[in-house]
Amino acid sequence: MPNPARSLTCTRAAAWTEAHHIRAWIRGGDTNLDNLCLLRAHHHRTFEKAEWSVAMIDGVPEWT
């Protein structure tokens, strides 16, 4: 499964994405712009299974 970092140049419209909580909502993560980034729906559904992680650095999501 490719890491979403390789999709940063994706040209899909925002309508094809979903908001992803960087710190999971169920673990106390807030629903605000500092804790959200956009992922294509497919990547959002497979995020944890693929063991990806993301951190917000200066307002930009950094993927590992």
Does the global pTM surpass 0.85?
A: no
pLDDT in tens, the chain (64 residues): 555 544 555 677 888 888 999 998 999 999 998 899 888 888 888 887 888 888 888 888 888 7
The C-alpha atoms of residue 10 and residue 40 are separated, in whole angstroms, by 9
Question: What pLDDT score does 8 carry?
Answer: 54
Return the pLDDT at 32: 92
Gap between the terminal Cα atoms of the chain: 13
Q: Is 59 exposed, middle or buried (0-12, 13-18, 19+ CB in 10 A)?
A: exposed
pLDDT for residue 3: 53
